Amino acid sequence: MSQVDVESRVLHVARLKTGLSTTHPLRGDALRVMKTWLTERARMKPKTDAFFISERRGPLSRKTAWLAIRTYGERAGLPVEAHPHMLRHACGFALADQGADTRLIQDYLGHRNSQHTVMYTATNPARFERLWR
């Protein structure tokens, strides 16, 4: 719970492995959904300070989250088996589609090496639009 600050509207992201930890702004729909979840979570009287909790009020396991994403992917009729890392890739491509440059995407995703980030901007032809304005 220490990573989420709805009053200041920020999320502190502590990275695994060797990624760079960052602080992200919480806005609009994301902030509203988080506030709704925190109200529901409080009603459940959790046994942990984990943000996501199970029906048993303990921390939600990685396996449970992975299975939920896979199940929702199947229900949506995705042609591939969905997994959590796809959400990270979707975020990178969405930032590139909004015009974010490689460096910003690198910082947002916590990549230490820009080579891990280039794939998001390399597939976006809009990156050339500002060259001859």
Range of the domain at 29: 1-60
Same domain, 67 and 97: yes
Give mean pLDDT, residues 120-124: 80
The closest alpha carbon to 104, from 24, 30, 31, belongs to 24
Residues 96, 39, single domain; the answer is: no
Tell me, yes or no, whether 55 and 90 share the same domain: no
This prediction's pTM: 0.76
Find out whether 116 and 89 touch, Cβ atoms under 8 Å.
no
Using the predicted structure, report yes or no on whether residue 56 has a pLDDT greater than 90: yes
Helix (H) or strand (E) holding 25: strand 22-25
CA-based angle 45:51:57, to the nearest 5?
A: 35
Would the pLDDT of 81 be above 90? Answer: yes
Instruction: Choose among 117, 132, 119, 133: nearest CA to 20.
Output: 117
Please check the confidence at residue 29 and state whether its pLDDT lies above 90. yes
Average pLDDT, the chain: 90
> Where among 60, 76, 91 does a domain terminate?
60
C-beta neighbour count of 116 within 10 angstroms: 15
Number of domains in the chain: 2
Query: What is the rounded distance in angstroms from the CA atom of residue 25 to the CA atom of residue 75?
Result: 31
- Examine the domain organization and report whether 68 and 47 are in the same domain: no
Domain boundary among 60, 88, 105: 60
